[in-house]
Amino acid sequence: MQNFNYLEPGSLWEAVGILEGLEGKAFPLAGGTDLVRTFKRIGFREHGVINLKKIPELSGVKFDGQVMSIGALSTVSELLANSEVDEHFPVLAQAARALGTPQIRNLATIGGNLCTSSPASDLAPALLAYQAKIIITGPNGEREVAVNEFFKGPGQNVLDRGEILTRIDLNLPVPGTIGAFLKHGVRKSHEIALVNTAVLIIPVRGSDKIAVARIALGAVGPTPFRAWQAEEQLAGAEGGLPQFEEAAKIAQELASPIDDVRASADYRKHMAGVLVKRALFQAWGGKV
């Protein structure tokens, strides 16, 4: 391929076929907010895009009362405009609100956010906390991957040759589930996270105890991840600041951030603990 190639398949199977044939040469195009930036850096020549926008199955958000199915091409703005997302998956809505700028949110898709597999993704921690299922279609048909198995490293994921992320399924959380998303950056908005976290707590009904806690962290490791040991610490415990501090300390030890021009690894690690504590406390109804 000499020139930049622009392809616009009208069906998923066609897209999979093209992608399989042009692996490493042409890339699926969703919102383009990551891909176009990459091409601007490495050059357009010799490459190509397979625009996914003409594939009907990839669009739309559906909710049947139990499962919310989010098409890979749903933009961050579409998630924010959807009242069912806000009502049933508020932590995802909070994460969506924290992503980029209004202009970027109008372009950026949830599928692109996952496939870019940036350790600092804002949607990933929320999807980890909700235990999202990722639905993938490829040359061998459809398969499903739990979101905590999707990421393999910075910019790397489980997608194989010819595979396209088609949708994300979220199960309705148990009634009474509470949660929070927090992002820490240098500025208030328009900022890639130095650390971000999404937490969900399922309280034991009619008591101050925690049945289940889920804590996900981003930007402080090669991939966004669940802080399992911190979650275990909270399961069955009383909810309250001392317990949250203890869990946050464990979560902080699981963080392995990088040093760069924006912040030191030590600072990021410290803030991971602070943010987890705040998120748990905020979810629990406290103010920090």
Ligand X SMILES: Cc1cc2nc3c(=O)[nH]c(=O)nc-3n(C[C@H](O)[C@H](O)[C@H](O)COP(=O)(O)OP(=O)(O)OC[C@H]3O[C@@H](n4cnc5c(N)ncnc54)[C@H](O)[C@@H]3O)c2cc1C
Question: Per CB under 6 A, which region of 6-14, 34-42, 204-212, 255-263 contacts ligand X?
Answer: 34-42
**134-173: contacts with ligand X (CB under 6 A):** 159, 164-165
Q: Is 182 in the site for ligand X (CB under 6 A)?
A: no
Question: In the sheet where 133-138 sits, what is the strand order?
Answer: 61-63, 67-71, 164-171, 133-138, 141-146
Q: How far is the CB of 164 from other proteins (least distance, A)?
A: 17
d(CA 222, CA 138): 26
Tell me the torsion sign for CA atoms 131, 227, 79, 134: negative
Strand partners, 215: 199
Q: Which amino acid is at 73?
A: L
Q: Is 28 in the site for ligand X (CB under 6 A)?
A: yes
Q: How far is the CB of 120 from ligand X (least distance, A)?
A: 6
Q: How far is the CB of 50 from other proteins (least distance, A)?
A: 12
Q: How far is the CB of 131 from ligand X (least distance, A)?
A: 19
CA 241-245-250 angle, to 5 degrees, is: 150
Catalogue the E-assigned strands of 164-248.
Answer: 164-171, 178-184, 195-203, 210-218, 225-226
Cα dihedral 258, 264, 265, 270 in deg (nearest 10):
-140
Whether residue 200 contacts residue 176, with contact meaning beta carbons closer than 8 Å, is answered with no
Q: Is 198 in the site for ligand X (CB under 6 A)?
A: no
Query: What's 174's DSSP letter?
Result: P
Considering the complex, state which of residue 24 and residue 141 has its C-beta at the smaller distance from other proteins: 24
Q: Is 30 in the site for ligand X (CB under 6 A)?
A: yes
Binding test (CB under 6 A) with ligand X, winner from 112, 203, 257, 273:
112
Residues of the shown chain interacting with other proteins in the complex, contacts defined by CB under 8 A: 3-6, 8, 29, 31-33, 36-37, 39-40, 44, 49, 51, 53, 77, 100-104, 106-107, 189-190
Binding test (CB under 6 A) with ligand X, winner from 9, 16, 18, 35:
35
Residue ranges binding ligand X (CB under 6 A): 27-35, 37, 52, 72, 99-100, 104, 107-109, 111-113, 115-116, 121-122, 159, 164-165, 192
